[in-house]
Structure 1
Amino acid sequence: MQDLMGTIMDKSTPDPVEEAETAFQAVDLGSTVQVGEPPRYGVVKWLGMFPGGSELMAGIELDEYWPKDCGDGSFEGHSYFSCGHGHGYFHPLKNVQPDQRFLTIDPVPAITRGNSIPAENPLQAPLEELEEQHTIPPTQVYVGEKRGIQGHYNSCYLDSTLFGLFALSDVFDSMFLAPDKDAPASRQEFKDLLAKKIINPLRKNGVVRFESVMELRRMIEDLGKMEGVQEKEKDPEELLNLLFKNILHIPPFIQIRRSFGVEDEFFIQLFISFDQTLRLPTIKELTRKMFDEGKLSLTKAPSQLLVQVPRYGRGFKTCQRIVPDLKFDISEFTEAYISADVPGCMICGERSSWKCSQCKHDFMTSESDVYFCEVCSRKAHTRKERRDHTVNRAVTVPMAELDLLSVICIETSHYVCFTRDLDTNTWLFFDSMANRLYDKYNIPRVTDCTAALNEWVYSGDLTQLLSAQPRELPELVRRFTQDVYMCVYVQSKPKSTDNSSYNEEFVDVAWEF
């Protein structure tokens, strides 16, 4: 028993081949696993035996809420680990299996076979190098089984990021198209690989095989001088920082002014204090909270924006659900906007974003305009008698509106991507490891999830989403709102109409003033 426990609790990192040979047997703390049939998935948080017990047990934090058989990590009055109620599950270790969805290791990993191509790879898409740049295809090109980017050996972080940036938008094509006369040959080689073996084939065929991505991972590891890129799990923020800064030498997207000076950044990483009143915040509301708390501002409005959402470990999230804004006016976070002297919100006293002259009678003020923050303006104009009000910006700074392109999500250790066709407003869900074949090869899948997201998230009425229990949500809606990791915003297409005011019907949660 002592030898067995020693094997289970050993934290040493095996080499890739040894790990591949034992992957189906080894379960350790932090492993993503599955139990039962149909399988339920989760993360191992505790290993051991109960007092008086005779077999090894695993304490698992399940992904999904399961109140019938789950608690909070306690058993018979003793706490073995901590998690949300309805997620803590104890199961005999001998019946716990590694999560077959994410087990991307075959008995002889492809990375140890040089450039050999396994003939039995179920994706028969050609391994081609396309010189011709392909335009963004219709969404139908991507939809279906064996579509998207094939995952392999913990690659979901890279697969999801590439699909989210390039599948339905050419905004980030400058990463490999922009001229760089003084670039070393290795940098141009990397750009050529990214464009000709991944982006162009993806847009032409709707699918890319794992061999091309493994070639890219090898080059990222070599050029970025980061160990483990070929076999270990990373995260998209870590990957993109490496690509933008160390490999491609792209200028930072944003400049954030802090109390000690200006910092160049590629991301806005949301660090905010815990607030239990944040039941269903938007990305913009969370960004505003951080900027207000930290007294931050942007030196100018960027043309693209990557927002990393607060998340601390697998178990704790600052917000249980988040709604990514379809439109994000970033001008409200610039120095020019923040430094303007405007009255506080009539309702909550926070900084105002909008003003309405037609509300002055309802709020019994002699002022010519009633000022609101964005949240209170939305709530105030929910009432039918105010829905036809014309609401103007509180500060006369030109809008810099960004469109939501993609949302990268993480559940336990697995990354997936939702991305949007900005012309048709079609949403696609991409999972590079949706299925497996021969216990060797991952089968990617792309699903059209437009109807579900429009009904639950973007219908204009969030009452249904607010009141629903996790088990009541459609699977993709739950993942979209509860597992948000990063949101990608890009510059909106120019419009000829004046965008300094709006006259929308605010049909939101039934808040009234």
Structure 2
Amino acid sequence: MASADNKLYFIITAKPPSPNGYITAGEICFIDKQRYNEWQKRQTDILPVVCMGKLSDTRLDKVLLQPLLRREAELLMALESSDDRLLALKNPEALEKASKLSEGCQVLVEYKGQWFKGVIRYIGRLTSHISDPITGVFFGVELQGEDKGKGQNDGSYFHKTYFSCSKNSGIFAPFTRIKPVDHKPSAPPLHTQSPLSMTSTEPLKAGDRVTFFGDKNAHHGMVMDIKDHQDGKMVLISTDKDEEGKQGGERWIPLDCVIKEELLNKDETEKIDTSRGPGMGGSADSDEITVGSLVQFLGKTIIYGIVRWIGQLPDFPGMTAGLELEESSAGVSDGTYKGQRYFNCAPHCGLFVKLSSCRPDDRFSAVKKKLFNGQSDNDEAMLSEEQENVPPIRTEDVSNRLIGKMKGIQGHCNSCYMDSALFSVFSCSSVLDSLLFKTTEYKTIQTILLKNIVNPLRKQGFVSEHSVMNLRKQLQKREHCPTYTTDEKDPEEFLSLIMQEIFLLDPPLILCSQAGGSQKLQSCYYYQIFMDYNHHLVLPTVQQLLEHSFYSNSLKLSEVPSCLILTMPRSGKSFKMFPKIIPSTELDITGLLADGPQQCVLCGQLATCECAECFRDKTFSDTGFKYFCGECSTQVHFHQQRQYHKPSTLLLPQGFSYSQSSGSDRRTPPREKLELFAVLCIETSHYVSFVKYGPQDTDWIFFDSMADRVGESDGYNIPEVQACPEVGRYLHMPLAQLANQVPREMEGVAKRLFCDGYMYLYQSKTMCLYR
């Protein structure tokens, strides 16, 4: 391969048309310079480029490609999302500044929504993946001064040290979370943490136009100086008018009471003091709004939040609402205004707006509002049906359609088992879509499932709790279970019910029992993994657990299943057997098939026999059924430890033959694999789910139908879907390193996947089309 310096780099600026529709806008690609010159001579607009993470060429029109310098490509590669790369591309000045940064530069670095002062100590990659010519470049920053100890590490990332600093004083960040500090002799740059200026990414300095707040009114002026005081930072401002109305005058003002005018115009004018357009306000709507109401208001886009406080603020006429916003970092406060706290919320999630500019959240109509309070009995008549049939959410649409609060399926009254199961099966997969269109006598249940749950989930990203409750009521009416509207169930119980009893789906799993020397077929809708205690697994993968369970129970697969639902082993009725289980994102079931060509574990050729006694022998491999060709079997069982083994002969499938001259068919048997698309987890009787929604290692989302709640007994739950790319990073971690991870210290929600995994859902891309 040519060196990385001999490459030309591009970013794809738009989604290519078919047949390259699988390529997304925002991907980085490259081509060798010499090859580029050869194609230029052909005077063609098509270039054979290679996208990062892929091995083969992709021919794209040059109009879709924007050239990048190598450093620019490396900086953009550090951004996980293609959308983030395209957004960063719109700010070429920031990209150019980041390209010029070097170790030792003083910067501001963003972490958990706040900006801290620091010094760059490391610039480079954080992974050892080398199949691509370049990898993402990150900045390692050591926090300075009063911001020391507010970071995330000591200069180490996944047990590798990139620079040294004190505990929790190091941060690794892409260039979009780095701002260079411009030093001015008259005033050193300061990190402002005023409640109103928390969204500032620029330090306050001499010469800035600012606004500060007096006892009654807002005042304007220019920064003259900034000094430390025993009570904190103080800013000397030359005012436009003093409090007596005279021009000029200088005043020392606490830094917390000062905001740059450009930020005030940008954030506060738009968010706090802006009258709303037609249809977004009105006294009728405002009269309905109280503390705890879900509301929306119009800024540059429609923004949603929860009312946490209503009252009057200094300097603002009329009634004001203090909102906690659904979208993090969309606000300018943590519930404080001018140093006084009015309510509590996370930084950057609080916002004060005119009460008259708010209206009830239109995602909850008046009908739904009544239903939240249990005021309707005519359930079926009030369903809001989504008539068209909607396909699963595409990878590129997940971030816009699913991520956020009030996304997914809303939980209510012990429904989490059903919410998580429905979300896992239908949000991003079509493997069980046949349920939605089969002929059934339970047409009402099928209509509710399709029109009121699956279609709205896929089209709007949200399903109200009423739709799920109506499904539960219908199941209860049909006397399948008298407690479906009140009690918690197991997700496999629910899935088996709708697949087997409601829709009469052919069982997707056909098992072949080989106990007693005879073969018996049994069909089922899911498989419960049972483990004997004669094993040495400590940190098992799902692959190992399934193989051990099949071995212990003398089972094989009769055919490749379109959908394989696995529940994990339990010790007794409710206790986990393993503290951690590693999800196998790809499940190789070749060795589990009763009929079909098998591969010799030693030479890779077509196997002719199987040895059950060799299953636990780690000489050949750590796990799995052991198949051998004739020659390898003879050598293996010549050893004194295995001479009493009794290998069984395999029946070769049609088209394969045993060669007397070479000992075996030289062709390599094909591998049958299933892909993981969802995991249900349980902790303290509450089910949540993870969904693998795309091809990238980091394409994971986490769903909780009861992530938050408004009100008490007469309130309702707020579901939430969040991206969790950290899952992919842990899955790539060596097993020994992963075993040493302390669960409570694992990043994001990853701990719940590894420690609380209960049900794993796999699909076959080739077989699901025929079910």
TM-score scaled by structure 2? 0.41
Alignment partner of 1:263 is 2:518: no
Other-structure match for 1:70: none
Deviates more, 1:128-137 or 1:167-176: 128-137
- Residue 351 of structure 1 and its aligned partner are, at CA, apart by 5.5
CA contact 2:703–2:722 (8 Å) conserved in 1: yes
Q: Which secondary structure does the structure 2 equivalent of 1:151 belong to? A: coil
Structure 2 vs 1, CA of residues 422 and 475 (structure 1 numbering), >3 Å: closer, same or farther? closer
Q: Aligned equivalents of 2:436 and 2:586: distance in 1?
A: 27
Other-structure match for 1:319: 578
Other-structure match for 1:211: 466
Q: Aligned equivalents of 1:469 and 1:220: distance in 2?
A: 42
Alignment partner of 1:462 is 2:731: no
Alignment partner of 1:400 is 2:668: no
CA contact 1:224–1:242 (8 Å) conserved in 2: no
Amino acid at match of 2:700: W
Amino acid at match of 1:304: C
Structure 2 vs 1, CA of residues 333 and 366 (structure 1 numbering), >3 Å: closer, same or farther? closer
- Residue 134 of structure 1 and its aligned partner are, at CA, apart by 1.4
Other-structure match for 1:334: 593
1:26-175 matches, cutoff 5 A: 113-115=376-378, 128-137=384-393, 138-140=397-399, 141-175=401-435
CA contact 1:254–1:265 (8 Å) conserved in 2: yes
Alignment partner of 1:413 is 2:699: no
Q: Percent identity?
A: 32
Alignment partner of 1:485 is 2:758: yes
Structure 2 vs 1, CA of residues 460 and 175 (structure 1 numbering), >3 Å: closer, same or farther? same
Q: Aligned equivalents of 2:463 and 2:706: distance in 1?
A: 13
Alignment partner of 1:249 is 2:504: yes
Alignment partner of 1:443 is 2:718: yes
Q: Aligned equivalents of 1:289 and 1:310: distance in 2?
A: 11
Q: Aligned equivalents of 1:364 and 1:302: distance in 2?
A: 33
- Residue 156 of structure 1 and its aligned partner are, at CA, apart by 0.2
Q: Which secondary structure does the structure 1 equivalent of 2:470 belong to? A: helix
- Residue 295 of structure 1 and its aligned partner are, at CA, apart by 1.0
Q: Aligned equivalents of 1:403 and 1:244: distance in 2?
A: 21
Amino acid at match of 1:290: S
CA contact 1:128–1:201 (8 Å) conserved in 2: no
1:155-234 matches, cutoff 5 A: 155-178=415-438, 180=439, 183-184=440-441, 187-223=442-478, 225-234=480-489
Q: What CA RMSD, in Å, does the superposition of the two structures yield over aligned residues?
A: 3.6
Deviates more, 1:149-158 or 1:343-352: 343-352
- Residue 438 of structure 1 and its aligned partner are, at CA, apart by 0.9
What CA deviation, in whole Å up to 9, does each residue of 1:224-272 have, x standing for no partner?
5212011100010111111111111111111212237321101111011
Q: Aligned equivalents of 1:346 and 1:159: distance in 2?
A: 42
Q: Aligned equivalents of 1:351 and 1:167: distance in 2?
A: 33
Other-structure match for 2:185: none
Amino acid at match of 2:716: Y
Structure 2 vs 1, CA of residues 423 and 209 (structure 1 numbering), >3 Å: closer, same or farther? same
Structure 2 vs 1, CA of residues 309 and 394 (structure 1 numbering), >3 Å: closer, same or farther? farther
- Residue 403 of structure 1 and its aligned partner are, at CA, apart by 0.6
Q: Which secondary structure does the structure 1 equivalent of 2:414 belong to? A: coil
Structure 2 vs 1, CA of residues 233 and 395 (structure 1 numbering), >3 Å: closer, same or farther? farther
- Residue 422 of structure 1 and its aligned partner are, at CA, apart by 3.4
What CA deviation, in whole Å up to 9, does each residue of 1:116-163 have, x standing for no partner?
79xxxxxxxx96201101122321110001110000000000000000
Structure 2 vs 1, CA of residues 407 and 224 (structure 1 numbering), >3 Å: closer, same or farther? farther
Structure 2 vs 1, CA of residues 394 and 131 (structure 1 numbering), >3 Å: closer, same or farther? farther
Q: Aligned equivalents of 1:346 and 1:395: distance in 2?
A: 26
Q: Aligned equivalents of 1:285 and 1:346: distance in 2?
A: 13
CA contact 1:111–1:214 (8 Å) conserved in 2: no
**Based on CA coordinates, which of the two structures has the bigger radius of gyration?**
2
Q: Aligned equivalents of 2:546 and 2:479: distance in 1?
A: 30
What CA deviation, in whole Å up to 9, does each residue of 1:168-189 have, x standing for no partner?
11221111123x2xx32xx222
Amino acid at match of 1:210: E
Q: Which secondary structure does the structure 2 equivalent of 1:165 belong to? A: helix
Q: Aligned equivalents of 1:168 and 1:293: distance in 2?
A: 34
1:421-440 matches, cutoff 5 A: 421-425=693-697, 426-439=699-712, 440=715
Alignment partner of 1:305 is 2:560: no
The equivalent position to 1:236 in structure 2, one of 485, 491, 514, is: 491
CA contact 1:152–1:210 (8 Å) conserved in 2: yes
Q: Which secondary structure does the structure 1 equivalent of 2:703 belong to? A: strand
Structure 2 vs 1, CA of residues 242 and 285 (structure 1 numbering), >3 Å: closer, same or farther? same
Q: Aligned equivalents of 1:364 and 1:255: distance in 2?
A: 32
CA contact 2:609–2:628 (8 Å) conserved in 1: no
What 5-or-longer segments of structure 2 have no aligned partner? Answer: 1-370, 599-606, 640-664
Structure 2 vs 1, CA of residues 346 and 169 (structure 1 numbering), >3 Å: closer, same or farther? closer
Q: Aligned equivalents of 1:128 and 1:312: distance in 2?
A: 44
- Residue 449 of structure 1 and its aligned partner are, at CA, apart by 0.4
CA contact 2:610–2:627 (8 Å) conserved in 1: no
TM-score scaled by structure 1? 0.61
Other-structure match for 1:453: 727
CA contact 1:407–1:480 (8 Å) conserved in 2: yes
Q: Work out which structure has the larger RCO, using CA pairs closer than 8 Å and 6 or more positions apart in sequence.
A: 1
CA contact 1:274–1:318 (8 Å) conserved in 2: no
Structure 2 vs 1, CA of residues 485 and 128 (structure 1 numbering), >3 Å: closer, same or farther? same
